[in-house]
Amino acid sequence: MASRRNPRARKSSYSGKRAAPRRRPAKRPARRPSRRPRRSAPIFSKFSLSKLFQKKEPEFRPDNLESSTISKLYMTKLQRLHLLKWALLILLCIAMLVIQDVIMSRVSLFGTTTDLVAAVLLLITVMEGTDVGSIFIVITSTLYHFSGFAPGPFAVGIMSILGILATLFRQAYWHRNRNSIILCAGLSLMLYEIGVYAAGVITGLTNWYRIPAFLVTGILSWIVMIPLYPLIDRIGQIGGSTWRE
């Protein structure tokens, strides 16, 4: 058993020595990139000339311009229908003006003729009511005067005042139906012819004994309102009626 070693003797033999701490290897310094001189591009190279004449883009781009103002105009379906309605009414007034000047001015009925323009303007005014009809009669009577077919500038005031009064009278006392509209429009047309006659006598454009001719003109134009009413009423239904009692 002499070959066995004493563990206490091994412990005592290493008790005075401590293991040296392991040192980490020192970090190698990073290699710096070699600064080699770059070759300068030739002054008059192809790429330098292209960059010289290249147009620089602006930092702030302007808004794209629209092609026209019509493309920016947006209209609903109801607005398009109302526009169609008034376009047809204007065409009807122009047609009555042409028929009166080309055809009816050459036709003599009881020594006189009709006044289709005044009939259609007053009929549309009474049918549309005071809100729309008053604006309509003022504008159309003014255009009627400047067209050169009106009897005089006094026709603008007489037609506008009588049209608005006839519309107010109908809305105040009668319901909106065919008979009341034609009756009020016809009465305003008769008063318009009398007013034109009085203005013509005062200004010397006509004689006092021609009053029967003006009355016959008013009656014939009143009769023309009867076939005109269904046509105007049908056009007025486009887009719905915007007028309320």
CA distances from 48 to 44, 53, 56, 58, 221 (A): 6, 9, 14, 21, 87
Element (H, E) at 16: none
DSSP 67: S
Say whether domain 80-236 belongs to CATH 2.60.40.
Answer: no
Please report which confidence band the pLDDT of residue 140 belongs to, taking 50, 70 and 90 as the band edges.
very high
DSSP 112: B
Q: For the residues 222-227, what does the mean pLDDT come to?
A: 94
Q: For the residues 42-46, what does the mean pLDDT come to?
A: 51
Q: For the residues 29-48, what does the mean pLDDT come to?
A: 55
- The pair of structure tokens assigned to 16 is 């005075």
Please report which confidence band the pLDDT of residue 147 belongs to, taking 50, 70 and 90 as the band edges.
confident
Q: For the residues 208-235, what does the mean pLDDT come to?
A: 92
**CA-angle at 166, arms to 161 and 172, nearest 5°:** 125
Could you state, in order of their start, the residue ranges of all structural domains in the chain? 80-236
pLDDT digits (tens, 9 = 90+) for 160-187: 999 999 999 999 888 888 999 999 999 9
Does the pLDDT value for residue 93 go beyond 60?
A: yes
What is the predicted pLDDT for the residue at 149? 84
Please report which confidence band the pLDDT of residue 18 belongs to, taking 50, 70 and 90 as the band edges.
low
Alpha helices in the chain (DSSP H): 7-13, 46-52, 77-102, 116-146, 154-173, 178-203, 211-236
Residue 89: half-sphere exposure toward Cβ, Cα within 13 Å: 27
pLDDT digits (tens, 9 = 90+) for 103-127: 988 888 888 889 999 999 999 999 9
pTM confidence score: 0.69
Nearest to 115 by CA among 146, 53, 159: 159
